[in-house]
Amino acid sequence: MINMLKSVFISVYICLLCVGALHSMAGIFELGVRSAWTGALVSVAPMLYFFVHLFLGHVPRTTPDLMGYRGATLAGVLITLMLGWGQENGPWPLTYSVLVGAVGMRLYIVWYSRLGRQTAPLLQKGNQLPAIEFTDISGAAVSTESLRGAPALLLFFRGNWCPLCMAQIREISEQYRTLASLGVKTVLISPQPHENTQALAKRFDVPFEFWTDKGNQGATQLGINAVNGTPKGLEVLGYDSDTVMPTVLVIDEQGRILFADLTDNYRVRPEPETFIAILREHRVAGASE
């Protein structure tokens, strides 16, 4: 139920930010910049910019608390209160400032962004990664057992619709020569429609493996599935309502887990240097044995 509310919230929230910005600009045009509409615009603009930047700016991660955006939004609320005092602006500027700007931002940061991830016992460091079947880009069944014999980096991502996921994949793809020099197999796994995975493989054109987790069965087995984790409305584009929690795994040649990033904030993700350092340490340790 909570995830269903979140999936509706994020779609409605972004729409309200757009409506609030357009309505505020119209109000400023009518009443001037010294009206409460200026504060309303300042209140909704930071988070609207945030989402535009996510989708267009190739942002692979953010800070957890978005303090700069918080400060700008709260400044907008204060401007609304000051400029709206004694004026006939109607209820809309304050509504946009407080409910859409301040409250909406608060809900997004402290509620929506948190995945509520439970512990995943199978993914503890040192455990053997279970044998799980997926589908490769040719449509053939493939198993994690096929990764034996070389260290592997596995990235479970939500889908092509997720801008942070796409930026993270772009960032990792830029490190493909380093990963190849370490003998690492890189596998990108998503429960999205298979044709989307095929399109992604063509888009990046790097020597990675692109797997589809049909029905989110693999993620469910590993305990990283997100029921109703897809923003409401994306079903019309063919995406299922369920998705996967962003997860990064590094396994050794025998399939043992060397590193698992199980972030509980979908905006906070490891930098490539983090798992590349672990892979280098593993290579050095293996060479000295």
Q: Measuring CA to CA, how many Å separate 53 from each of 32, 79, 171, 172, 190?
A: 28, 24, 16, 20, 23
**Alpha-carbon span 90 to 181, nearest angstrom:** 64
The sign of the dihedral angle between the CA atoms of 266, 270, 271, 275 is negative
Third-level CATH fold of 121-288: Glutaredoxin (3.40.30)
**Alpha-carbon span 37 to 61, nearest angstrom:** 32
The full set of domain ranges for the chain reads: 2-112, 121-288
The model's pTM:
0.91
**Alpha-carbon span 6 to 228, nearest angstrom:** 8
Neighbours of 71 (CB within 10 A): 11
Residue of 38, 67, 50, 60 lying closest to 13 (CA atoms):
50
Q: Across-strand partners of 257?
A: 251
H helices of 160-258, where? 163-173, 176-181, 194-204, 217-222
Task: Print pLDDT tens along the chain (289 aa).
Answer: 788 999 999 999 999 999 999 999 999 998 888 889 999 999 999 999 999 999 999 999 999 999 999 999 999 999 999 887 656 667 899 999 999 999 999 999 999 999 988 888 899 999 999 999 999 999 999 999 999 999 999 999 999 999 999 999 999 999 999 999 999 999 999 999 999 999 999 999 889 999 999 999 999 999 999 999 999 999 998 999 999 999 999 999 999 999 999 999 999 999 999 999 999 998 766 544 4
The answer to whether 248 and 270 have CB atoms below 8 angstroms apart is: yes
